[in-house]
Amino acid sequence: MSRKNQTLGEFIIENQSSFKYTSGELSRLINSIRLAAKVVSHEVNKAGLVDIIGAAGDVNIQGEDQQKLDVYANDKFIQTLKNRNIVCGIASEEEDDFITINSQDENNQNKYVVLIDPLDGSSNIDVNVSVGTIFSIYRRVTPIGTPVTIDDFLQEGNQQVAAGYVVYGTSTMLVYTTGAGVNGFTLNPAIGTFYLSHPTMEFPENGNIYSVNEGNYIHFPQGVKDYIKYCQMEEDNRPYTARYIGSLVSDFHRNMIKGGIYMYPKSSKATNGKLRLLYECNPMAFIAEQANGKASDGVTRILDIKPTELHERVPFFCGSKTMMNTLEDFIQKGK
């Protein structure tokens, strides 16, 4: 029976039997993500004291300027996953292509691939605003013992076996699901241990927070514009409160706890949206649905979208069910 202040390690062992592929590998995989998260958390928390803030001088596959902490977090997560010899492939938002893990054992039996956004919202580091890590785990679809292929990564989100995020804020929290609810663990930095602090996390059925970059309002589809105006009307417990941090992990985390909706629609500037289906939308959608929330591109359930490329972008909306249903009605009417 899970209990508050239980360590993450104890929780993983105690709940291992509820996972349908129980073999211990997924538990070791979550443990390695936990280890890398602690290392990155330590570096984030001393960012103002060492030469780790600012741009790294490179541009990633997304065409975005890489921050020094982007590179650091990417290296740490990949290195930790490789060293533990528990995955057969990794795809990172910061890498051009997926990484094949060649085990020293010729009969490599590793079954899992990891897709990761090592440091979501990293441009906020310089101004001391919360950032995060997002991860997604799948069982490979190609034969075990062979090198992974792109097919192992281009799976629909409904095939995820686990997903989670780490938020580096006033405290460091690791939140994850294996398809049996969502639980949050807070790091005690004095001893380096994560403790269960938020058991069985769920979105309230309704909320009063909307999170969107209103600076792009003029570029949004008409249905999204209409919904934003609806949020601002003085009627039926409205206007809602506008809260937008610019870090998906932070905005999502707040809305899950307090009740709200997050929106990153397509626009005339980004016709396919901006967020990445595999590294951001799928894992957050899986968590949202496991936490009594909802996630879609405005029309289609995120977890049912078939990916066609590694760095594919889609519009993304997620949050409390009542707010999501109202938004989708506005999008349908605004066509």
Check the annotation: does 235 bind a ligand.
no
Is the torsion defined by CA of 169, 171, 172, 175 positive or negative? Answer: negative
Q: Quote helix, strand, coil % in the chain, to nearest 5.
A: 35, 25, 40
H or E stretch covering 27: helix 25-45
The Cβ of residue 101 has, within 10 Å, a number of other Cβ atoms equal to 20
CA 298 – CA 279 distance, rounded (Å): 19
Check the annotation: does 123 bind a ligand.
yes
CA 112 – CA 161 distance, rounded (Å): 9
Check the annotation: does 115 bind a ligand.
no
Question: In this structure, are strands 293-296 and 316-320 parallel, antiparallel, or unpaired?
Answer: antiparallel
Question: In this structure, are strands 260-264 and 112-120 parallel, antiparallel, or unpaired?
Answer: unpaired
Q: List Cβ neighbours of 179 (8 Å cut-off, separation of 6 or more).
A: 19, 160, 161, 162, 286, 290
CA 131 – CA 248 distance, rounded (Å): 8
Q: How far is CA 105 from CA 12, 102, 109, 142, 146, in A?
A: 27, 8, 9, 18, 12
Check the annotation: does 8 bind a ligand.
no
CA 218 – CA 197 distance, rounded (Å): 41
CA 154 – CA 317 distance, rounded (Å): 21
Check the annotation: does 120 bind a ligand.
yes
Q: Where are the beta strands (DSSP E) in the chain?
A: 55-59, 65-67, 87-92, 99-100, 112-120, 131-139, 160-168, 172-177, 183-188, 193-198, 209-211, 241-242, 260-264, 293-296, 316-320
Check the annotation: does 117 bind a ligand.
yes
Check the annotation: does 274 bind a ligand.
yes
Check the annotation: does 121 bind a ligand.
yes
Check the annotation: does 328 bind a ligand.
no
Q: List Cβ neighbours of 200 (8 Å cut-off, separation of 6 or more).
A: 181, 182, 183
The annotation places the binding site at 93, 117, 119-123, 213, 244, 274, 280
Query: Binding site for substrate, residues?
Result: 120-123, 213, 244, 274
Residues contributing to the annotated binding site for Mg(2+): 93, 117, 119-120, 280
